[in-house]
Amino acid sequence: MFHVKQLKMNNYKHVLTTKDFLVTGDKFDVSKNLKTGILETHPKPSHHDLYKYYDSKDYISHSQKPSSFFSFCYRQIRAISTKRKLKICSSQLKTRSLKNKARVLDVGCGTGYFLLKCLEKGWFVKGTENNKNARNTLPPEVSKHVYEGLEPLKQQSEKFDIITMWHSLEHLYDLTSAISDLKRLLRPNGTIIVACPNHKSFDAVFYKENWAAYDVPRHLWHFDKKSMRDLFLTQRVFLKKTIPMNWDSFFVSILSEKILRNTFPFFRGLFIGLISNLRAKYSGEYSSLIYVLKKNLK
């Protein structure tokens, strides 16, 4: 038994040790899978235990009410970034009929803000969200289109033009089966759009174990551009381009400053976020990236 466990751990390289700063204070290792290149959170909580790590009123993406100046700012930025997300989605729809009546699946839709804006465009929408607190805050017009997981959708014949994962891929428990399912739910010329933190960004390197975007153990996986491309290649889904998410460096840096309990975290975070974006103009390593992926090479 020891030999088998040791053999398995030889496939990993320890990167850092951090902890759950939001709820429990539990410590976790972030280790690189030498086969896939993906950084993984260890130990990986069981399905049954994961829910407790989301049980916090400070988990902004699962809350509708602005409880602080920072969360108020988050919602203003969310409105701006959602317009950009919709523009990115529209750019992938090649015909006028698709642009008017696209079918969109949002995996990990949170409180449903993106889906609500899709509905306002006249698009047909579906969503998944496994967090009960987030589902309970869904707008009525969105909630009827949202499922707890992908299983009900797999049993239907419906296919989608756009499948989005806005900072949700890193939360999925089984990456391989999830991507396989998403590929089957995608129309032949459809597009998968994924947004994820990038652990090779300047702010990630600067804050190290205090980088808020590690967010263990809610984030089970941690990606860079190569590991993301290679992950989808295993399912023959091809990376077409990456798009920077400039706001994320500021948001994540401010949260990281709060973790460190530094004075003036808002202004210090803005400064580090600005440096991260300026460096990324040359390196391409932005704090978060949007990945545009398709089932074919054309």
For 222-232, write each residue's pLDDT tens digit: 999 999 999 99
Q: What average pLDDT is seen over the chain?
A: 90
Check residue 72 and give its pLDDT: 67
Q: What is the pLDDT of residues 45-67, one digit of tens each?
A: 998 898 889 887 665 454 445 55
Question: Smallest Cα–Cα separation from 13: which of 50, 54, 53, 42?
Answer: 42
Q: What is the pLDDT of residues 30-45, one digit of tens each?
A: 999 999 999 999 999 9
Domain 2-55+65-294, CATH number (from 3.40.50.300, 3.90.1150.10, 3.90.650.10, 3.40.50.150) = 3.40.50.150
Check residue 3 and give its pLDDT: 38
Check residue 195 and give its pLDDT: 98
- The single-letter code of the amino acid at 289 is L
Residue with the bigger pLDDT between 119 and 80: it is 119
Average pLDDT over every residue of 181-196: 95
Check residue 127 and give its pLDDT: 97
Give the Å distances, CA to CA, from 167 to 40, 156, 215, 245, 290: 16, 25, 12, 11, 9
In sequence order, the 6+-apart residues with CB closer than 8 A to the CB of 182 are 107, 150, 163, 192
Note the pTM of the prediction, 2 decimals: 0.91
pLDDT band at residue 1 using 50, 70 and 90 as cut-offs: very low
Average pLDDT over every residue of 267-295: 97
Tell me: pLDDT of 5 over 80: no
Average pLDDT over every residue of 136-153: 92
What are 186's strand-pairing partners? 160
- Residue 190's Cβ-side half-sphere holds a number of Cα atoms within 13 Å equal to 20
pLDDT band at residue 8 using 50, 70 and 90 as cut-offs: low
For the chain, the first-to-last Cα distance in angstroms comes to 48
